[in-house]
Amino acid sequence: MNKSELTALIKEEAYRLGFAHCGISKADYLEEDAPHLEQWLKKGMHGTMGYMERNFDKRLDPRKLVHGAKSVISLLYNYYPAEKQNPGIPKISKYAYGRDYHFVIKEKLFLLFNFIREKAGNVSGRVFTDSAPVLDRAWAKKSGLGWIGKNANLIHPKAGSFFFIAELILDLELDTDAPVKDYCGSCTRCMDACPTEAIVQPHVVDGSKCISYFTIELRDSIPQSFKNKFENWMFGCDICQDVCPWNRFAKPIDTDELKPIKEIMTMTSDDWEEITEEVFKNIFKESPLSRAGFEGMKRNLQFIKPKKD
């Protein structure tokens, strides 16, 4: 089997496993991204996310993660939900409606990796889904799966941006894909819509001002200067994606693997205020909400709660 035949088989299997898009790039140093990442960190735009400062070289060179790496397979997994939360309910980012994506995608990545080994023999590599120092959007862009929008999200020209990104880094040479053009043009809807002005310039998001950062990553108190700017977002934020014109092409998922947790769609502010830690852990034990934890979710709810007259 030649390289092109193997590449085609790998992509076919990726689609069979449920990935929406698959692209391949050469495992090389991300020279264009290095100065941008360095400046972003120097300006403190990672906030309290100290882990972003670690493993700088590994984030830019996959060969430091997998010895002899030759290819990076980038994969997109759709999470755009068929149903949305009812108006008035504390908002939760769409990616967190269902079961934690790490559980869902990791299993598929290992199945794909085993398939590659069956077809290509002794292949070494690693699988990643937001679980290691990998610049996933940069690799997805390099592999032709879209461009980086002004909101710093990867945008696929035919499907928008509501995707999880995953990778396989392998010591296997495969056919590579070409990057696509940036089609944001003069549009600034995402920048104009951000209530905390976190998108400080096109393609640059100050993470320390982002609602998702405050409601998921931050362990301290949320600064009062951002009070009344969250627009009822309790966990994460989809504003910059919801206003993006390219997401008119987003298609709802047709699988039960990320089926929304019933309580996320129906719980009211009062229900959230009355929930106990035991109930929270029972309902959301395999949910992304567990990352913020019970106390973090209660803090977020109190922060977005309007003052009573």
Known catalytic residues are 130
Q: Which amino acid is at 76?
A: L
Between the alpha carbon of residue 262 and those of residues 19, 265, 290, the distances in Å are 25, 5, 16
Q: Which amino acid is present at 305?
A: K
| Nearest Cα residue to 72 out of 81, 84, 63 | 63
Q: Look at the chain and count its residues.
A: 309
Distance CA 207, CA 247 (A): 22
